[in-house]
Structure 1
Amino acid sequence: MDKVDGPKEPEEFPFVVPNSQMDQQQQYLRYMDERHEYRNRKIKTSHGQYVKVMVLFAILQIIGIAFFTKGFLLSRQVLQNRATCQEQQESETCERFSPFKKSVVLLIDALRFDFVIPVEGESADPYYHNNFPILYEQFVKHPRNSLLLKFIADPPTTTLQRLKGLTTGSLPTFVDAGSNFDGDTIEEDNWVSQLRDHGKNVAFVGDDTWTALFSPFLHSNMTYPYPSLNVWDLHTVDNGVIEHLFPMMHNRSHEWDVLIGHFLGVDHCGHRYGPRHYAMKQKLNQMNNLIDQVISLLDDDTLLVVFGDHGMDYTGNHGGESKDELEAALFMYSKRKNFGRLAEEYYDVAELGNNYRSVNQIDLVPTISLLMGLPIPYNNLGSPIEEAFIGPDGKDQHQLAKVNFLTCQQIHRYRQHSDQLSSDTFINSKFEELSEHWTHLQQGKKEQLDLIKFNQQCYDYQSLSLEKCKSLWATFDNISIAIGILLVTISLLLLIIYGKLVPLVVITQLNSQFIATSAAMTLVHSLLVISFTTIFKPENLNMLWSVLLGISLGIINGILAPIIDRYSVPWLLAQVRENLIQNGWTYLALAVVLMHSLIFTSNSFIIWEDKIVAFWLTSFGFCAFFKSFKHRNSYKQLLGAYHSIVFILLTRITSSIRFCREEQGSKCLSNFEVTWWSVGLIYVFALLLPKMIEKFFDITHSFHGAAPLWISTGLKSMMLLTGLMWTLEYIENSDYFNAQFQIPFEAFKATRLTIARIVMGISLIASNFGWFLGPLCIKIDLKSDTDSQQVLKTANIIGYGNVYGSAYFLFVINVLCAVLLVNKPLGIASLALLVNQILTLLELIDILNIRTNLISVVVMGLLAYLHFFTTGHQATLQAIHWDTGFIVTESIVFPFTHLCILMDTLGPFIIVCLCIALMCLWKIPPTSKAISLISKIVENSSTLLIYQSCLTLSTLIMTNHFRRHLMVWKIFAPRFMLNGIILITMNVILSLVTVGFATGRVIKRWNQVFGT
């Protein structure tokens, strides 16, 4: 075998040194120094090579996920055409249906429909029902002046996507949800840009998302944006809107034609507290009074439009497609009698309840365009709202027929110019083919059919067009999807070969070849793919994706070539039985990995994944309990049984923390809330968790040196400060305390931010700086033995049997404190139990002798998933705790806001990735085979990546398989995105932090101090 390139070992010490100038003892010391320096260099070189190879795997998997994401997350075809009045054949068309010269458009973010209608009986909630009555009262008292409808959003229910749909009339796509925080100017035709094109001034105040999307179309001297994403701030945006809204209506009404205001208080209140909170009642009352004042200031030529862009679920979040998230409210009002009714029974809340008359949100686009004398935006798929054009008496079918046909013309033009829609092959069982249906409409207009029948045909055509567009609303890039799946599959196979099949001694020797070969092959393949792209210009590859594909092919060849050069494929296959399958534990682990991968074949299994994971962990605990009694040592038998029972109990206790997803329905009852008792649990665990950790350290006599400072003082202090922060938060938002006392909100806010910044600074900066200097959890016990001739002194190192694990765990505590800070109270309790479970598992691993067995890593991975769910998360967009991003900052500040959300969402996975090294480091004495120890840690890290890669690959395949499934965007796609993010995070943490930083530092530090 080839030797590792690196430092050369000094020659063996010559015990007989002829003609030497120095004595033998000095020469021996010099030799030992050189040998020690050589070994340190060798460890450093080998360690660096391991880190580089793991980075190569990370790059390969990230590129694979990127290709799949590029191909799967949909992108709608947008036409750049702009609608004109001349294109609608009659030059006066744009002015014909414009009874209003001005409009006031008020968007109340997250205004759910049941917030504005009367709700009586047991179902009425005092916090969010019957606190915003003015819209319904005006609708009932002035039926010809007002209109109130249920306003149905298209998913994803995120603000930026809703604004796109509400202004362009087009359907959003799921990939747009990722840009909710980074909007670009809309180049697609929309009614805001049409206002500018027709010489009208648009004033705006409120959510700065509008300026991101429509800045070129807004009047620069009448635009007042406010930051929108600080969900802890309920008042700044709303107060800013009120500050500018009324002066512009009073004194500057001649300067604007359309005045837009976007309120965020209701939405932020939902995100921060949920709808069932007194702050929601205050916000709805505030909006009610505001609308009352606005109505009083309107003149006869001004139209008032009030609507919500989406609703919110019972937790106050949104982003998905539950009923409460999709149902917003739409209110239109004018002093002039302009609105009609189709039939009174359509609007009777008492009779209809949830069947109240509803329209699609994109229907606002042709409606407001025609009412303001604008051409309908080119990509619009909405229908004009009947009540706005049927006349005050509800009988003007002639005017309704005109606006309906204009809308049908616009949709037909859009279809004709769209590559996706021009080839019409969609057949609906109820209607004829769209092209034939359009022909019948034209004939009906010429023949002047019965207007009621004609209007119905128009709505049928508009509805059928929308239905077809929804079925074809996006184009999947099948080639990119296939490349992504193939790259992740290959990376999984390479990880299995690298981590489990090839002997560790050989891997240590091959690491340098992997790196050199990958670099060379990456250059060659990148040039080849770029040349192919330049010559053939495939639609799926541009220059960037060509380079990424070349890099991935280079890494694959760079890792595979040295292995194939040394070993044959049959030999590798033979190693599966010898190296991968160790005993019955391995079969159990493989069964769990297979079952976990297969749950993504069913939406029902995905919905109940939290319960399934808890069951598997409990099953492991039972197996460990019975396996413990096979140990030869009776004390170990009892100890193993004890830890098994503790592991089972902790799993059961943890799984009692529940944050249910909508699909679980009445079979799951959420208890993940900020309450007085959940805040109290922080203080309980602040006292218990350090004591628990201390007891585990005492097993190996390691609670010495730096351990008391880190655990008894540091961890306890950080948790108490975190508890104080959440106490202030609870008092600030408590009904009781606000009723009894005058809460100094600004002082509380400043104190909370100060505490959070202190904890974060100490956890991630000060404590890690101290840890880097190399604290050890040992104690030197000096003893003197006196005999008849001399005094002998001996040194006993207490904690010697766990020198690596105890020192490494101090680093885990540093990161743990930061993760605890950004979690909510019950999440903190869950993470405290996670630490106890990990330490219990480490004891079981030692007793059962399964340090490098697949089962140990799989159980670690399952713990991460269990606590992902019990820290208040689910694989849904609305389950993301956006409010945690503002724990240490008042506004969005990169990277602190993003880091807080990441640590809150993936905290359990981060902790588990760090603790994977403890499986090899815990309860072992110093070793002279440091490289072998690093190799075993890399093996376990690779095994964790293998497990997660299996899950990610399964979600890629099944999400692609179910891409036309009804639940794809609600269940399968979010689950794929979660698995992709987890795999990327694991790669980064394992390669750069666990192996790259912490493991190397602990092992090298011990060798520097003691020279082992």
Structure 2
Amino acid sequence: MASKGLSLLLWVFLVHLAGIYLYTRGFLLTRLSLSDTTACQDGSCTISPSHRRAVVLVIDALRFDFLSPHPPEPVSPHHHNVLVLPQELTAAQPTHSLLFEMFSDPPTTTLQRLKGITTGSLPTFIDMGSNFGGSSITEDSFIGQLRSAGKKIAFTGDDTWTTVFPDSFEPNMTFPYDSFNVEDLHTVDEGVIEHLFPLLMDKSPSWDVIIGHFLGVDHVGHRLGPDHPTMKTKLTQMDVVIRRVVELLDDDTLLILMGDHGMDRKGDHGGDGDHETSAALWVYSKGPQLVHPKASIPDWLLTSRLFPGATVEHRQIQQIDLASTLSLALGLPVPFNNLGTVIPELFWNDKAGTRYTRALALNAKQVNRYLDTYRASPSGGELDNAWSELQRTWKTVDFEAHTKDREAQWLAMTMYTRFALAACRQLWAQFNVTLIILGLVVLVMSTVTATLIYFKVGALQDNWESWAAGATWWYTLSGVGGACLGSVGYLAVSRYVKGLGLVEALLFGASFVSSLVAIFFARPSLSIPSFRSLTSIPLPLILHAAAFASNSFTVWEDRIVNFLLISSIAPSVLVGFSAPTSRLRYRILGFSALFALCVRLMAVSTVCREEQQPFCHVTFFASSSLPSPPLPVLFLSVPIALLLPYATRRFLKISKSDRGTAAIVIPWILPAVLLLGSSFWILEHFDSSEAFGPEWAGPLRLARTWCARLAMASVLFLGYALWYLVPLCLEISTETKPDASAPGKSTRQVTVLGFANAYGAPYLVFWCLFLGLLYPTLQLTGQAALALAAVAVLAHLEVVDSVRDVRGLEAVFASGNPSAILENDALRTPSVPLRFSEVAPLATLAVHAFFATGHQAAIPSIQWKTAFVLTPTLSYPLSPLLVVLNSFGPHFLISLAAPLLALWNVAPLPQPAMDVKARADAVRASLGTMLYHATLLLSSATCAAWLRRHLMVWKIFAPRFMLAAATVLVVDLAVLFGVAVGVGRVSSRVSRLFAAMNQGTK
């Protein structure tokens, strides 16, 4: 039974899970949120308001160059100089209209940006995940201050606001809309327009602040990119809306128009690229002037920046400056957790800057109160390194300075608030070194243990199952004992070790002790003879793991993996040149060439990280700013969907195993599924480009939704059901012939077609069905890359099979008894062990497929479109699962093929010895795959921990570690699924078949 090997794999997975949990708890901690609020009854902590009311309009993903009067070159006709009212009014009324570029702290997701805008606080790296499950904001905020002052807030638009501020808006003036239906470009905007204008036209307004959040620009970016005619249409609509708002605005209302973040060249966001962190801000006052016409604002107060590609610098501010600025402008206290600095221009309505001095002083005092409170909190130790400098800077502030000393006073206060912001930005990348070390220890132990188990299972051969049963029992028992020791250790040291909880102590104790016991049980693998096996570990794995020590190598990992993958087949090619027969020579060299060709063609598909510019050219999409498929891929998508099943069947025909279930699934079900998957994205392209006109949007959406649903349903309810009932790919025929040796008698001759691949062919059908399930979640270029990866897997299987035959022949000739070839069919069932160097190319191919299907180790590469493959609107948990399947499906699929290395072209005789060997090799192939990716995880985790104060830790090293951690879990689940379901079912049915045949013979 496969349960013995499954228990070993499950144990390795659980130890990996424990190590990842411990490490991430130490590496990705969130900052402490203080619940204190700024309150003053006598008005001493605020200033008189410049405006009585405000209209805050957020155009999601409004990048600065969309409003800039001097956009970058070359000018795009689709998003430059389209929304022009802000630049027109700023040029005509410079004292009433101000235009800024805002820096939005990463992660540039809507929830985190709303937190920054309203609280003035900073996010942490891991906070990005809460964008899809945001909870209410507990920190003091601009919204909270409005409510405390008894102000009435009207809201319409993105429902993220009502999620984070659930009880803050007036019930009869709150109109939220679903924010995650990226396919819908107009419903939210039309809803905002429907409710915004009646509120503005109310002659006796019952509101103090209106918040309207438009989503169309963001959705156009995600779906079509910024360089698309629909973006111009949407920005034109926004221009018309803003003009109407300005017309309806009264003199006592301040208008704020902003983007919460920007978007990259193809319309996505989430990371820290220049285009993603650049957002626009326009402030307009129809009545009181914002800046005194004779004001002389020092140049050092006005930071400027050159937008990428532009030739004229523009005024830049920090987005978190809005919280303090809007609060004081409306006569409210600054939110307690704010780290922003008031925008000078909005308080310089007198010539001397007296109002600005008062606002900046209140701002600086609030930041100082916050830092003092944080210093006294349980997390105050984080400020140790910066505290003396913060105190020294604070002492330079003189709040009693005379008028002639005001510029020095402004400088001191601004330096203090900005230094506090810089210190906190660095410190809130906080780490718990103890938990990091505990996590690394567990990851090291799990890697060493998996290596020893891999060699142990190979050394035991037929006796491996009895050893695995005993070892698993001891692993489990020692894990329980280790958990008990961990609890004792927690009681002893928890008061001295920061951040160590009971759960962490239990996990470390259980995983560490059970790993020690596992090493003890596998200790024979450390003997000198087995050391020769270590030489089969390929150099590409070592180089791949070492690359994570360099930010440059990590950035260019997609190119490095392409080189390492092709290099990994060099040992097989060398065997091919020295193969003893011409047939084996041609097979090894031919299939190796096919493998290399597929790998190279996959590398043609690229998406570019920001750090790769300008040396990278996007080929996954039509262009870097147009997220539609390239025309060649569009035309080839249908032929690819038809050719892949044909190629798969051709590989099966080599061993005559294209029978049974394979004769139904491969030529009929699989092509239909792949065609439906391609049809979804072809129709999506026609829908997005409005090739047939906007009136076809509804029918096209319905058609492509049902294409995807039919494809996935066919796999789950037809393909897998058929495979589970009849998994084998055999054709058995009987024929009665007269017995020449006994006249008058006859003999029954049984012919079994597909016998030589009785294990591999049904598992391949099982694997192809998951390929069909994954196919609709990938965009057209990703589908082409996945098809090439599938052919590469099949080619590698044939290479491994042929190399195995060569090694079998060499073993027979070395034995001095060449006639053994005729006696026991050594070519078909060679008793040669699986090598790690044969597993490594498949594991590396999984990484290569991840990059080739349009992904990078960066947040902006997440393909959010996939969330809407099966439904036109966001649906939990289906939509997130589809995004996960799109991102990690290639890893899962290629790793799921690992048991095929052991099962491919292995005949099932003699029974039951061959069945035991097949399961042992399948477990070893699975362990080898887990070991490869665990080694990459260990390397990335070690490098990220060692370089945790590196400038690029959150931009490069942390995302790569998170990808490696997720990959290990996905790969572990894939091999567990493959061994438990695929190998288990196939092995069981083969054994039952031969038992029945033996019974019939008797």
Query: Does the alignment reach a TM-score above 0.5?
Result: yes
Aligned residue runs from structure 1 range 182-197, under 5 A = 182-197=133-148
Choose the corresponding residue for 1:906, options 866, 882, 888. 888
CA shift digits 1:938-992 (9 cap, x unpaired): 111111111111110111111011111111111100000000000011112212x
The alignment's C-alpha RMSD in Å is 2.5
Distance 1:423 1:553, change over 3 A: closer
Aligned residue runs from structure 1 range 158-177, under 5 A = 158-177=109-128
Aligned 8 A contact 1:920 1:936 in 2: yes
1:369 alignment partner AA = S
CA shift digits 1:116-154 (9 cap, x unpaired): 123579511112211111111121112122111001111
Query: Aligned with 1:358: secondary structure?
Result: strand
Query: Aligned with 1:557: secondary structure?
Result: helix
Distance 1:409 1:308, change over 3 A: same
Question: 1:39 maps to what in 2?
Answer: none
Question: 2:638 maps to what in 1?
Answer: 683
Aligned residue runs from structure 1 range 273-292, under 5 A = 273-292=224-243
CA shift digits 1:561-601 (9 cap, x unpaired): 3763x67x5x4421xx533634xxx6464311111110000
Aligned residue runs from structure 1 range 572-971, under 5 A = 572-574=525-527, 577-579=528-530, 581-582=532-533, 587=535, 589-673=537-621, 674-734=629-689, 737=691, 741=693, 743-786=695-738, 787=740, 788-849=743-804, 852-927=834-909, 928=911, 929=913, 930-971=915-956
Question: 2:814 maps to what in 1?
Answer: none
Choose the corresponding residue for 2:32, options 68, 71, 77. 77
1:376 alignment partner AA = V
Q: Structure 1 residues 126-135 or 345-354, which shifts more?
A: 345-354
Question: 2:340 maps to what in 1?
Answer: 382
Q: Structure 1 residues 644-653 or 947-956, which shifts more?
A: 644-653
1:329 alignment partner AA = A
Alpha-carbon shift at residue 167 of structure 1 (Å): 0.9
Q: Structure 1 residues 843-852 or 278-287, which shifts more?
A: 843-852
Q: Which structure 1 segments of 5+ residues have no match?
A: 1-42
Question: 2:992 maps to what in 1?
Answer: 1008
Distance 1:516 1:427, change over 3 A: closer
Alpha-carbon shift at residue 894 of structure 1 (Å): 3.0
Q: Structure 1 residues 129-138 or 334-343, which shifts more?
A: 334-343
Alpha-carbon shift at residue 932 of structure 1 (Å): 2.6
2:84 is equivalent to residue 133 of structure 1: yes
User: Identity of paired residues, percent?
Assistant: 34
Alpha-carbon shift at residue 425 of structure 1 (Å): 6.4
Cα distance in 1 for residues equivalent to 2:905 and 2:514: 37
Aligned 8 A contact 2:680 2:704 in 1: yes
Distance 1:542 1:76, change over 3 A: closer
2:354 is equivalent to residue 403 of structure 1: no
Query: Aligned with 1:319: secondary structure?
Result: coil
Cα distance in 2 for residues equivalent to 1:538 and 1:827: 51
CA shift digits 1:357-389 (9 cap, x unpaired): 100001111110001111001111111111101
Alpha-carbon shift at residue 857 of structure 1 (Å): 1.1
Query: Aligned with 1:357: secondary structure?
Result: strand
Distance 1:539 1:877, change over 3 A: farther
Q: Structure 1 residues 858-867 or 452-461, which shifts more?
A: 452-461
2:393 is equivalent to residue 437 of structure 1: yes
Cα distance in 2 for residues equivalent to 1:864 and 1:335: 59
CA shift digits 1:256-297 (9 cap, x unpaired): 211111111111221122211122112111111111111111
Alpha-carbon shift at residue 555 of structure 1 (Å): 4.6
CA shift digits 1:38-93 (9 cap, x unpaired): xxxxx3xxx2232223222211111110111111113223222110125xxxx234
2:759 alignment partner AA = Y
Aligned length: 944
Cα distance in 2 for residues equivalent to 1:660 and 1:690: 31
Cα distance in 1 for residues equivalent to 2:312 and 2:668: 56
Cα distance in 2 for residues equivalent to 1:372 and 1:499: 68
Question: 1:33 maps to what in 2?
Answer: none
Aligned 8 A contact 2:449 2:519 in 1: no
CA shift digits 1:133-190 (9 cap, x unpaired): 1111121112122111001111111111111111111111111012111111111111
Cα distance in 1 for residues equivalent to 2:917 and 2:509: 30
Aligned 8 A contact 1:366 1:382 in 2: yes
Query: Aligned with 1:225: secondary structure?
Result: strand
Cα distance in 2 for residues equivalent to 1:967 and 1:379: 26
CA shift digits 1:852-901 (9 cap, x unpaired): 11111110011111111110000001111111111012233233212211
Alpha-carbon shift at residue 551 of structure 1 (Å): 4.4
Q: Structure 1 residues 510-519 or 282-291, which shifts more?
A: 510-519
Choose the corresponding residue for 1:322, options 266, 273, 276. 273
Query: Aligned with 1:180: secondary structure?
Result: helix
Question: 1:511 maps to what in 2?
Answer: 468
Q: Structure 1 residues 1001-1010 or 346-355, which shifts more?
A: 346-355
CA shift digits 1:322-361 (9 cap, x unpaired): 1111111001112113222767998999998462110000
Deviating above 4 A after TM superposition, structure 1's stretches of 4 or more consecutive aligned residues are 119-122, 341-352, 420-428, 446-449, 534-537, 539-543
Alpha-carbon shift at residue 793 of structure 1 (Å): 3.1
Aligned 8 A contact 1:526 1:546 in 2: no
Query: Aligned with 1:123: secondary structure?
Result: coil
Q: Structure 1 residues 637-646 or 850-859, which shifts more?
A: 850-859
Cα distance in 2 for residues equivalent to 1:810 and 1:139: 65
Length-normalised TM-score, structure 2: 0.90
Cα distance in 2 for residues equivalent to 1:526 and 1:427: 39
Aligned 8 A contact 2:569 2:841 in 1: no
Distance 1:126 1:518, change over 3 A: same
Query: Aligned with 1:783: secondary structure?
Result: strand
Length-normalised TM-score, structure 1: 0.89
Question: 1:370 maps to what in 2?
Answer: 328
Aligned 8 A contact 1:109 1:264 in 2: yes
Q: Structure 1 residues 453-462 or 901-910, which shifts more?
A: 453-462
Question: 2:425 maps to what in 1?
Answer: 470
Alpha-carbon shift at residue 423 of structure 1 (Å): 9.2
Distance 1:695 1:250, change over 3 A: same
Distance 1:424 1:793, change over 3 A: closer
Aligned 8 A contact 2:72 2:311 in 1: no
Query: Aligned with 1:592: secondary structure?
Result: helix
Aligned 8 A contact 2:486 2:509 in 1: no
Query: Aligned with 2:396: secondary structure?
Result: helix
Cα distance in 1 for residues equivalent to 2:192 and 2:633: 36
Question: 1:520 maps to what in 2?
Answer: 477
1:149 alignment partner AA = F
Distance 1:560 1:1005, change over 3 A: farther
2:468 alignment partner AA = N
1:372 alignment partner AA = L
Aligned 8 A contact 2:95 2:290 in 1: yes
Cα distance in 1 for residues equivalent to 2:852 and 2:105: 30
Question: 2:180 maps to what in 1?
Answer: 229
Distance 1:772 1:499, change over 3 A: same
